Amino acid sequence: MTRADRAGPVFAALADPTRREVIRRLAEGGPLTATELAGPLGISRQAVAKHLATLAVAGLAVAVQEGRETRFELRTAAFVEAEAWMRAIGASWNLRLGALKALLERPNLRVAGKR
C-alpha cells in the first residue's frame, strides 16, 4: 500500500465536520466515551459511534476498554503519514513551478505571438 493509499481514508474522514469536531474533542480532552462525545455535539451516541468507526478505519482513533467503558483515543500516526504525502506532492509542484519560472525568466525567451 502506498503513502497515497494510506492518506485517502484520512482525508475522507476529515471531510466531515462532525468527525473533525470529534477529533478536536479527543485531542483536547480524550480519551472519551461515545456518550461523552455525543452530548456536546447534539447527536446520538449511535451517530457518534458511526463517526468513530470511520475514524478508526482511517487510523485516527482507537477504542480502549477501561473496565465496563469503552473510551476512544486519538491516534496521530495517520496524520503524520497524510502530512508526509502532502509535503511530497508540494515538493514536486515546487520543483515544477521553479523550472517553469526559470524558463520564463530567461532573457532571450520568445513568447509565441509577441514580437
Instruction: Give the C-alpha separation, 30 to 52, whole Å.
Output: 13
Q: Domain of 72?
A: 1-115
CATH number at residue 32: 1.10.10.10
User: pLDDT tens digits, residue range 57-91?
Assistant: 999 999 999 899 999 999 988 888 888 888 887 76
Q: Which grid coordinates are listed for 53?
A: 468507526
pTM listed for this prediction = 0.72
| Number of domains, the chain | 1
The residue written with cell numbers 458511526 in the block is 50
15 close to 23: Cβ distance less than 8 angstroms: no
DSSP per position, 36-88: HHHHHHTS-HHHHHHHHHHHHHTTSEEEEEETTEEEEEE--HHHHHHHHHHHH
Using one digit for the tens of pLDDT, what is the confidence trace for 23-66? 999 999 879 999 999 998 999 999 999 999 999 999 999 999 98
pLDDT value for 88: 80
